[in-house]
């Protein structure tokens, strides 16, 4: 069994004396694990930093086996962000969220392509907005997409400023009045393409996606919680 694919490194953990079990997010083969011999050695350790983009080859005797990876570095993204705590936190959070949320060996090309866009955006200043939209896309891809098209109560498309935590549908200001305390804020930048979210909007956006990720996705993981790297990103952005 053998395949070749573009991939983003999500995680690597030591296995034995110098090998590593590496988790990749691939374009066509989903989140996939494999053994890398010498992956924690001096020559290869830098290759498997979260966020790095690689060209991966996976081989195994049978499809159900763990198999092994051989990888060539294409973009050392992690190294370029070492001096930028905010962007490095976002990179770590995205990798940890994808690793925790995605089922193994299930193709989710839109999530891979969205992460490429997110990582590329870190060369500029729109990355917080794109990060929130990437998490929204992740929810959509996993079958838990939110509906911003119209008010769940009245059908209007105007003045949508809340989300129902039960249905995941937008609610207008007028319809929300009796229930405001139980609704989640809907940042306006999520309703329009190309709009940069202000700091308070980014905070509300992360609260929104975090609520539905924890309710529908992370509640089914071993820890039952969002990855710690995501909370570190939120804490880092609060300092701004």
Mean pLDDT of 31-51: 93
Tokens of 3: 């395949």
Q: Are residues 103 and 66 in the same domain?
A: no
What percentage of the chain exceeds 90 in pLDDT? 90
Q: What is the pLDDT of residues 107-120, one digit of tens each?
A: 999 999 999 999 99
3-state secondary structure of 118: helix
pTM of the model: 0.95
Question: Do the domain assignments include residue 85?
Answer: yes
Residue 45: band (very low, low, confident or very high) from pLDDT cuts 50, 70, 90: confident
Q: Are residues 90 and 36 in the same domain?
A: no
Q: What is the pLDDT of residue 220?
A: 84
Tell me how long the chain is. 240
Q: Are residues 72 and 86 in the same domain?
A: no
Domain boundary among the residues 56, 77, 98 is at 77
Q: Are residues 104 and 221 in the same domain?
A: yes
CA atoms within 13 A on the CB side of 230: 23
Mean pLDDT of 215-235: 92
Structural domain harbouring 223? 81-148+186-240
Q: Are residues 115 and 228 in the same domain?
A: yes
Q: Are residues 4 and 72 in the same domain?
A: yes
Q: Are residues 26 and 97 in the same domain?
A: no
Count of the separate structural domains present in the chain:
2
Q: What is the pLDDT of residue 56?
A: 98
CATH number at 68 reads 2.40.50.140
């Amino acid at each position: 069994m053998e395949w070749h694919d573009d991939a983003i490194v999500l995680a690597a953990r030591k296995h034995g004396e110098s090998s590593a079990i590496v988790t990749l997010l691939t374009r066509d083969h989903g989140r996939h694990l494999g053994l890398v011999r010498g992956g924690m050695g001096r020559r290869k350790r830098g290759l498997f930093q979260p966020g790095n983009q690689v060209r991966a080859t996976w081989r195994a005797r049978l499809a159900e086996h763990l198999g092994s990876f051989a990888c060539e570095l294409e973009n050392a993204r992690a190294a370029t962000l070492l001096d930028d705590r905010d962007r490095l936190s976002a990179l770590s959070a995205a990798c940890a969220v994808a690793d925790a949320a995605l089922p193994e060996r299930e193709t989710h090309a839109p999530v891979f392509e969205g992460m490429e866009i997110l990582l590329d955006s870190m060369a500029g200043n729109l990355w917080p907005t794109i990060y929130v939209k990437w998490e929204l896309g992740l929810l959509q891809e996993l079958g838990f997409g939110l509906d911003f098209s119209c008010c769940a109560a009245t059908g209007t498309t105007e003045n949508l400023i809340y989300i129902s935590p039960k249905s995941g549908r937008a609610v207008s200001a007028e319809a929300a009045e009796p229930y405001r305390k139980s609704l989640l804020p809907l940042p306006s930048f999520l309703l329009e393409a190309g709009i940069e979210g202000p700091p308070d909007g980014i905070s509300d956006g992360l609260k929104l996606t975090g609520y539905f990720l924890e309710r529908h996705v992370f509640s089914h993981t071993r820890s039952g919680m969002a990855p710690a790297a995501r909370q570190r990103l939120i804490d880092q952005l609060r300092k701004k």
